[in-house]
Amino acid sequence: MPPRSPGQQAMSARWMILPAVVMTLAMVIFPLGFAIYLSLGGNGTLPALGLGHYSRLMADPAFWSALRVTLVLFAVALVLQLVLGTALALALNRYNVVRGLVRTAILSPFMLPPVVVGMIAIVVLDPGLGAANWILESLGLPHFLWLASPRWSLLVVALIDTWQWTPFVALIVLGGLQALPARVYEAAEIDGAKGWSLFWHVTLPLLGPTLLTAAVLRSVDLLRFFDIIYITTQGGPGNATTTLNIQAYKLGFDFMDVGYASSVMIVLALIVLGSVVFFASLRKKVSW
């Protein structure tokens, strides 16, 4: 309903937002404050309020490992999903096949509960009896440990998430592609651009804002990565897939170290906030 002169409406509907405000205060703002309080040693988790949990954090190798795992997963999966999603979107746009079975295939993965995706991964990627190794074997390749590999499990998790979310990125990019002004393409064609150079010099820069939107949406989810890891590896082998979110959950609910867990969560929340602010600051640069 927005347009109309910037007037003061005689009819006030402001009271209608009240339930939402109460809900937000009770379920978001208050818990947020409480979490900060806990992280500072409130509720008896430290003898006195202070930064004790945070200094412990700085000296904890497990925290640094979890931070590294979180950032690696974030970077690898984000790049994979943006590149593959853009490529898929270009193909879908070119051949105009988003209907029937193709549309189903695009929408299904990200509508599935991540837990179900994790359960499928357990069965398909089982090192002994899984279908994935059987396929490798049929192709004459050696078996692979998949999620049980201390070295590669994190990459496998990133690939699973990429399977689930690349179509979503593709859909967003497809929307951006279809909103691009056709005139620009005609002009570029007249200027002699085609194929790769057309993509590199015209399409990609114009897609900037759309890619940024996709990046923000995926970053927020990737930095908070939890479900699939908790279902499949529980953070293992060792702590090869222990992200900050997994670590915080375990600290809080398995070890009941409530104050310390809260400090990990606050750090994670700041990282998420930082990434959003970072992408928001890029918005000006990429918009046209």
Partner 1 sequence: MSTVHVRNVKKSYSDLTVIEDLSFDIHDGEFMVFVGPSGCGKSTLLRMIAGLESFQGGEVAIGERVVNGVPARDRNIAMVFQDYALYPHMTIRDNMSFGLKMRKTPTAEIERRVAAAAEILQIGHLLDRKPRALSGGQRQRVAMGRAIVREPDVFLFDEPLSNLDAKLRVEVRTEIKRLHARLGATMIYVTHDQVEAMTMADRIVVLKGGAVEQIGTPQELYREPRTRFVAGFIGSPGMNFAPARIEGDVATLVTGDRVPVRRLSSGTRAVQGEIGIRPEHVQLADPHGPGVETLVDVVEPLGADTLVAVRLGEAQLMVRLPGEIIPAEGDRLRLSFTPGATMAFDAQGLRI
Partner 2 sequence: MSDTPRSRWSTPVFTIGALLFMSPILWMALSSLKSPQEVTAYPPKLLFTPTAANYAELFGRTDFLHNTFNSFVVAGASTLLGLVIAIPAAFAISWHRMVWPATVSLFARMAPGTLFLLPWFIMFSKLGMAGGYTALILAHAVITMPLALWILLPYLDATPREIVESGQIDGCRSGTILIRLVLPMIYPGIVVATIMSFVFSWNYFLFALALSGFDTKTAIVASFNFIGEGTTNWGALMAAATVIALPPLVLTFTVQRWLVSGLSFGAVKG
User: Could you say which of 3, 7, 128, 195 contacts partner 1 (CB under 8 A)?
Assistant: 7
Contacting range for partner 2; rule: CB under 8 A; set: 31-39, 77-85, 187-195, 197-205: 31-39
Site string for partner 1, 8-37 (x = CB under 8 A): xxxx--------------------------
Task: Please name which of 252, 247, 268, 225 lies closest in space to residue 38, comparing C-alpha atoms.
Answer: 252
CA distance 246 to 229: 8
Burial of 187-200, coded b for 16+ CB within 10 Å and e otherwise, reads ebeeeebeeeebee
287 sits near partner 1 (criterion: CB under 8 A): no
Query: What is the Cα–Cα distance from 207 to 226, expressed in whole angstroms?
Result: 30
Q: Which of 97, 219, 105 is nearest to 163 (CA)?
A: 105
Contact status: 280 vs partner 2 (CB under 8 A): no
What's the CA gap between 130 and 65, in Å, rounded? 30
Compute φ and ψ for 62, nearest 5 degrees.
Answer: -60, -35
Query: Rule CB under 8 A: is residue 5 a binding residue for partner 1?
Result: yes
CA atoms of 98 and 100, how far apart (whole Å)? 7
Residue 5 interacts with which of partner 1, partner 2, none, CB < 5 to 8 Å by class: partner 1
Tally of CB atoms within 10 A around 116: 13
Q: Closer to partner 2 by CB, 197 or 234: give it.
A: 234
Stretch of residues binding partner 2 (CB under 8 A), selected from 48-56, 76-84, 127-135, 192-200: 127-135
Please, what is the minimum distance in Å from the beta carbon of residue 128 to partner 2?
Answer: 7
The Cα 100–Cα 106 span in angstroms is 10
Q: From CA 123, how far away is CA 130, in angstroms rounded?
A: 6
Contact string 77-116 vs partner 2 (x = CB under 8 A): --------------x--xxxxx-xxxxxxxxxx-xxxxxx
Q: Using CB under 8 A, pick the residue from 148, 215, 252, 263 that binds partner 2.
A: 252
Q: Write down the least CB distance from residue 1 to partner 1, Å.
A: 12
The residue (of 3 and 61) whose beta carbon lies closer to partner 1 is: 3
Cis peptide leading into 3, omega within 30 of 0?
Answer: no
Which is nearest to 249 in space by CA: 237, 239, 236, 234?
A: 234
What the block records as the tokens of 146 is: 């998949």
Of 90 and 151, which CB lies nearer to partner 2 in the complex structure? 90
3 binds, among partner 1, partner 2, none (CB under 5 to 8 A by kind): partner 2
Residue 204 contact partner, candidates partner 1, partner 2, none, CB within 5 to 8 A by sort of partner: none
Residues 145-164 within binding reach of partner 2 (CB under 8 A): 163
CB of 7 to partner 1, least distance (A): 5
Nearer to partner 2, 94 or 151 (CB): 94
- List of residues contacting partner 1 (CB under 8 A): 5-11
